[in-house]
Amino acid sequence: MSIQTRTQLQASALTITNETTAGANTAARVGGLFDDLADTATLNRERGFGSLSVSGNTNFTPTSNQSVKLTIAMDEGILSTYNFSINKSTCVITYTGIAGAALKVSANLTFAGGNNREFEWYIAKNGSTIASSKAGITMSHDNGHSIYFETYVTAAVNDEFTIYVKSIDSAQAITIQSLNFTAVTL
């Protein structure tokens, strides 16, 4: 059927409610109202969640002074049945909804690298880093450091979200100890 405004849906419901004579409310009319409601309403099927994770030490070597896509093998996290697909081998969460939507995309990770090294972490949409997601850290020791970064974006169907890292003045390997990468419709 079609997407309706709340006023249009209420008018249809009132018409059906007021038609009390036998046979006045046909299956097509009542069924049509339910089709319009389903097309219009925000249903649980339209909400989605996709995540990837790393639960053990994984090494990655960033490029010095250049933002590069994090390319490590990840584990499948939680995936709702609607609106997202995940690719654990390429660290990509793809929005697959039927229309554009507002999303929150975030990452929470613990990683280790050399003392005094500086890093910038980003969420990227279709290969372009999102400046508002930037989280920077200068390592104060060579043990694990935790960092969280997020962004709120409007996604189009098939937009891909990834993580990028920039190592300032060093191309030495880092060890990612844990990582949770998520996208959720708002």
pLDDT digits over 68-94, tens only?
A: 999 999 999 888 767 899 999 999 999
Q: Return the pLDDT at 43.
A: 53
Q: Is 50 exceeded by the pLDDT of residue 97?
A: yes
Read off the pLDDT band of 44 (50, 70, 90): very low
CA distances from 104 to 60, 122, 137, 183 (A): 25, 13, 22, 6
Polymer length of the chain: 186
Q: Where are the alpha helices (DSSP H) in the chain?
A: 6-18, 27-40
CA distances from 12 to 39, 91, 109 (A): 14, 46, 51
| Listed residue (93, 65, 60, 90) closest to 177, CA to CA | 60
Q: Return the pLDDT at 106.
A: 98
What does the DSSP 8-state code read for residue 147?
E
Torsion angle of the four alpha carbons 77, 79, 83, 89, in this order, in degrees rounded to the nearest 10: 40
Torsion angle of the four alpha carbons 162, 88, 77, 164, in this order, in degrees rounded to the nearest 10: -20
- pLDDT above 90 covers what percent of the chain? 62
The SS3 call for residue 91 is: coil
Q: Return the pLDDT at 90.
A: 92
The SS3 call for residue 88 is: coil
DSSP H helix total and E strand total for the chain: 2, 13
- pLDDT tens track for 123-159: 999 999 999 999 999 999 988 999 999 999 999 999 9
- Of residues 120 and 17, more confidence is placed in 120
